[in-house]
Amino acid sequence: FLFFFCFITTSTALSSTANTNNRVAVVTGASRGIGRGIALELGSEGYTVYCLGRSSRVQTDILLEQQQQRPISSDLDCTVESAAEQVSQRGGHGIAMPCDLRDDTVIDELLQTVFDEQGRLDVLVCSAYTTPPKNLRGDFWTQGMDMWDAVNHVGLRQVYAACRAGAPYMIQTAKEQTTITPLICLISSFGGKSYTFNVAYGIGKAAIDRMAVDMSYQLKKHKVATISLYPGLVKTEANLQMELDGTWAEASGNLDLSQGETPAFSGRAVAALSNLKGDALLQRSGQVEVVAELAKELDFTDTDGIQPPSIRSLQYLLPNFVFPQVEREMKKPIPDWIRNNVPDYLVPWSTFSSGPPPEMDTR
């Protein structure tokens, strides 16, 4: 039996910087990870950002089920309140909305509150996700239905619920703000194109991509855009903690997290998309956009000033998947002159999606 409890808290940490941007964003899953990175970067753009998520300084058993959250460092304040404060410190206006999105009625009530308070909704980012109860990797027949519910309830059902509830407000915004194209951004992953982790995960991500496409057919005439966004390997708080705990290598398949993207990189991608003028954003509506590829096209970087390669680039695929296998077979390392001269060539989606994952490839 599912209870729900929701508080609405307005951040008091208003920035002294004048906010000349009156655009309004709602970000689900904003307390940590990619959602938090997006909320903060939209704050840097001057947005009023409503930060939605379960993690809150308001300690209630109904709202918080911390045992289902991946562990993070105890000195981190990964709550919607701290996210809202940082949004305001960056020049935006952060508003914390602690909530449990597993209850279908919550998102309707919250988005109505947003529109009643602001009279517009320019950007809706769906990044909320529930941690599975066990290791993501495994054969589907050995994983109970709790795996499906974990990855596809908040991660899929509530994405649809948020889009359904938010669309009328965004259509109204597009009518009244004719120079702005409202954006619905769905956080997906390369698992929508190629096998990743398990069957339930791939189904959910492919469905997110399809949702962006099908919504675009119906929303384009209303001047509202939809995008499915693919971050790369991301240095979230939980992933970094796994590396410290020594569990990252086994869980990830020995991926090098030091080469990963920050959550802010995804935020900069959303900000860059939302700033596209005229019909430039609508022309992309319904598409999958890769954060690393957008960085090169729209000229932004990660926080270290670097533009990392896309996961479908040879610069990522060869060092992470091909070279290790070659080295095991040859029993000697790949020469540096080869490692250091891999071209940044994007493997076509048809090729990237066509085969089994490297660890299962027996061809």
Q: Residues with catalytic annotation?
A: 201
Residue 22's Cβ-count burial label (10 Å; 0-12, 13-18, 19+) is middle
In contact, 30 and 103? CB cutoff 8 Å = no
Q: What is the DSSP string of 17-41?
A: S------EEEEETTTSHHHHHHHHH
Name, in order, each residue with C-beta under 8 angstroms of 211's C-beta and a sequence gap of 6 or more. Answer: 159, 160, 163, 186, 226, 228
Distance between alpha carbon 335 and the CA centroid of its chain, in Å?
A: 36
CB burial string 263-300: b at 16+ within 10 A, e below? bbbbbbbbbbbbebeeeebbebbbebbbbbbbbeeeeb
Buried b (16+ CB within 10 A) or exposed e, 155-167: bbbbbebbbebbb
